[in-house]
Every structure is written in structure tokens, then in C-alpha cells.
Structure 1
Amino acid sequence: MAAEPTSQPADAAPAHAGASTEAAQSGGGLPQFKFEFWGGQIVWLILIFAVLYTLLAKVFVPRLRKILDVRAETIASAVEQAKTVQAEADAQAAAAKAEIDQARAASRALAADAKAKATAELNKRQAAEDERLAGELAQAEDRIRGLRDAAMSNVNGIAVETAQAIVERLTGAKVTAADIKAAARAGQGAA
């Protein structure tokens, strides 16, 4: 079924258009500024203010306050925890410094002990080496003394033989070793 268009008189449309034009021209302006609408506006203002105030006071502000309190508690606990951790870190740093100082003192003592042991060992070795060298020096001096004595006894023999050879060559006569020794003694006694 098709809807039938309602028929309106041809002159009705222009009359309706003219009425709205008249209303716009006669009153015009915003209804909020007309005194007859103020009563309803005040009622709605109070009603909306009451609803918004109730929502803010009972819902939004408590939630916001709860969030701010949780945030403040979180910050306070974090600060307290940071202070505790800082105090522990300071205590650990002091303990570590004390351990380092102790280790340094122990290492210095160990180094001094090692140096003393090394010096004692060096002195011991040096004394042993000096003793060994003194023994070798004494043996060398004994050998030198023996060689000198042997050379000195040979010198007398060589001197006698040389003197015999010189006298024989110069004079042509043979001289005995006893004569040369007697002449050497006589020469030393005169000097």
C-alpha cells in the first residue's frame, strides 16, 4: 500500500512561513536572556550543579585523593627504601675500604717480610761466598809462597851457576859452587 500524499491548501504553506518569520522578527534574541525563562534555567542550574557536585564529592575526588595518597605512599616508601639502600651501600663501602686497607697492610708486611728473607738469604750466600773466596785466596797465597820459596832456592842455585859461568868465561879458571857461595857471604858481610 502506498501512502497517499496529504493535500494541503496551496495558500497554507506561505502562511506558515510567514508566521515563523514574524516570530523571528518580533521577539528575536536568545531565550537565556529573557526573564520568563530564568526560573527554569535556575532550577536546571541547581540540579546540574548538585549532580556534578555529588559526582565530584562522592566519586571523582575520592578516587583522585586515593590515587594521590597511593602515589605519596609509593614515593615515601621508595625514598625510605633508597635511604636504606644508601645506608647499606655506605656500610658496604666502609667495610670494603677497611678490607682494602687491611689487605694493603698485609701486602706491605708480606713484602717487608719477603724483602727481609731475601736480604738474609743474600747475606748468607754472600758470607758463604766470601768464606769460599777467602779459602781459595789462602790456598793461592800458600801456593804462591811455596812457589816463591822454591824459586828463591832455585835463584841461589841459578846465581851460583851463573857466577861460575861468568868467572870461567872471564878468567878461564873453573870455580866451585862452594867458592862462589863463600865469596857471596863475604860480599854480604862487607856490605
Structure 2
Amino acid sequence: MPQFDFATWPGQIAWALLIFAGLFLVMRGRFLPRMRATMEARQGRIEGDMADARRLRDEAEAQSETARAETAEARGRAQRTASEAKARAAAASAKRNAELEAELSVRLSAAEDRIRASRDQAMTQVGGIANDTAAAITERLTGSAASGAELARAAQA
């Protein structure tokens, strides 16, 4: 194996150094600047993207805060509208209840008047019925009919 032959080592080392120096100069002169430019461009793009992401995040947070405020305002308006509608409905209900109560009061008064009139009429007839009943009982028990004056005295007693 020629690599292990010490006599060929100085030539091999010289060629290795020469090739290394040539590759180093080519890399340093041509490929490394391109790689550095590519890496710097990539870093710039990453930093720009990060800045855009931060800006968009800040905008999203601002829009979110605006949306929260609008939602709170809308919720407040909805609650006010609901309470106003409830108040209107309660007022309408109270008015309708008052009207119905007045109507029922009128009907109740009329019904009480009719009942009073019927009771008074019944009471006037009760006296006559009591007299007739007392006369029938007296006649049956005594065998003779009682006079109207005697029946009136007995009814008053």
C-alpha cells in the first residue's frame, strides 16, 4: 500500500496541502460569500416574518378588544331593550288587569244587586209561605182554620 510507504509521504502531504489550499481558496472566495448572503437573507426574512407576526398579533389583540367592547355594548343594549319591553308589557298587563278588574267589579255589583233583589223577593214570599204552612198545620192539628190576624200575630212572635 503506497499510503504506508514512508518514502511517498512528503509528496502525498504536499499534494494534500495543495489540494486543501485550493479548495479553501475556492470555498472562501466563491461558496462561502454565497452561503453567508443566503444565511443573512434567510435571517432577514425570518426577522421580517417575526416582525409581521408581532404586528399582526398586536392588530388581532386590538381587534379582539374592540370586539369585546362592541359585544359588551350590544349586550347592554339588548338588556336595556329587554327591560324596556318587560316594563311596557307589565304596564300593558297592569292596564288590562285594571280594566278587567273594573269590569268584574261592575259585574259583581250587578250580581250582588240581583241576589239582593232575589233574596228580598224570596223573603217576602217566605212570610206568605210561612202563613200558609202555619194555617195548614193549625187546621190539621185543630181541625179548624185559623184567622189571618191570628197567623200574623204568631208570625211576628
TM-score, normalised on structure 1?
A: 0.68
Question: Could you tell me which residue of structure 2 aligns to residue 17 of structure 1?
Answer: none
1:159 to partner: Cα distance = 1.5
**Aligned-residue RMSD, C-alpha:** 2.6
Question: Could you tell me which residue of structure 1 aligns to residue 30 of structure 2?
Answer: 59
What code does the residue aligned with 1:55 have? Answer: V
CA–CA separation in structure 1 for the residues paired with 2:31 and 2:155: 145
TM-score, normalised on structure 2?
A: 0.81
Gaps of 5+ in 2: none
Structure (1/2) with the larger helix percentage: 2
Secondary structure, counterpart of 1:174 in structure 2? coil
Question: Could you tell me which residue of structure 1 aligns to residue 102 of structure 2?
Answer: 131
1:81 to partner: Cα distance = 0.6
Structure of higher RCO (CA pairs closer than 8 Å, 6+ residues apart): 2
Query: In the alignment, which of 111, 119, 128 is matched to residue 157 of structure 1?
Result: 128
Gaps of 5+ in 1: 1-28
1:41-190 alignment, distance < 5 Å: 42=14, 48=19, 51-185=22-156, 187=157
Q: Greater shift after overlay, 98-107 or 81-90?
A: 98-107
Q: Quick check: which has more Rg, 1 or 2?
A: 1
Q: Greater shift after overlay, 121-130 or 88-97?
A: 121-130
Q: Percent identity?
A: 39
CA–CA separation in structure 1 for the residues paired with 2:9 and 2:155: 169
CA–CA separation in structure 1 for the residues paired with 2:88 and 2:69: 28
Cα distance, 1:32–1:177 mapped onto 2, change above 3 Å: same
What code does the residue aligned with 2:114 have? Answer: R
